[in-house]
Amino acid sequence: MEDVLPFLIGGLYAGGVYLVLHKSFVKLIIGLIILGYASNLMLFTISRITRGAPALVPEGAEALVEPYADPLPQALVLTAIVIGFGIQAFAIVLIKVGYRIVATDNLDDLNTTDRLDD
């Protein structure tokens, strides 16, 4: 697994960046979501993956015996997913309202607030 996941993460980052660079609102959001997944997976992978060794103290022993899986990254990733979900929900609604009021689907048209002379 540890040999495959880095390629997956790299692919997700590449795909996310590719989508974010598009002009469309919807592709921007999908790109951000994919980038979020890439970071979550990276956080999960980089903290080392141990298979089939739950972090439980075996019967008769006083402490954990190596090897055991670190439960913390899983908790972190779960938290990050939940937070990401909330932020993405907000971003999707924002994009929808933005589309209705600004009346465009082209990010290049969102330049009125940057102009010097308005």
Type of residue numbered 113:
T
Smallest distance, another protein to C-beta of residue 75, A: 9
Dihedral, 45, 48, 53, 56 alpha carbons, nearest 10: -100
What Rg do the C-alpha atoms of the chain give, in angstroms? 21
Contact pattern for another protein over residues 39 through 78, marking x by CB under 8 A: xx-xxx-xxx---------------------x-xx--x--
Residue 61 buriedness (CB in 10 A; 0-12 / 13-18 / 19+): exposed
Type of residue numbered 26:
V
Backbone phi, psi, residue 39, to 5°:
-65, -40
Residues 6+ apart with CB under 8 A from 73: 43, 44, 47
Q: Does 92 contact another protein by CB under 8 A?
A: no
Q: Does 106 contact another protein by CB under 8 A?
A: no
Of residues 10, 18, 23, 79, which one binds another protein by CB under 8 A? 79
Q: Does 26 contact another protein by CB under 8 A?
A: no
Of residues 5, 8, 28, 69, which one binds another protein by CB under 8 A? 28
- Summarize as ranges the residues that interact with another protein (CB under 8 A): 20, 25, 28, 32, 35-36, 38-40, 42-44, 46-48, 70, 72-73, 76, 79-80, 83, 86-87, 90-91, 94-95, 97-98, 101-102, 107, 110, 112-114, 116-118
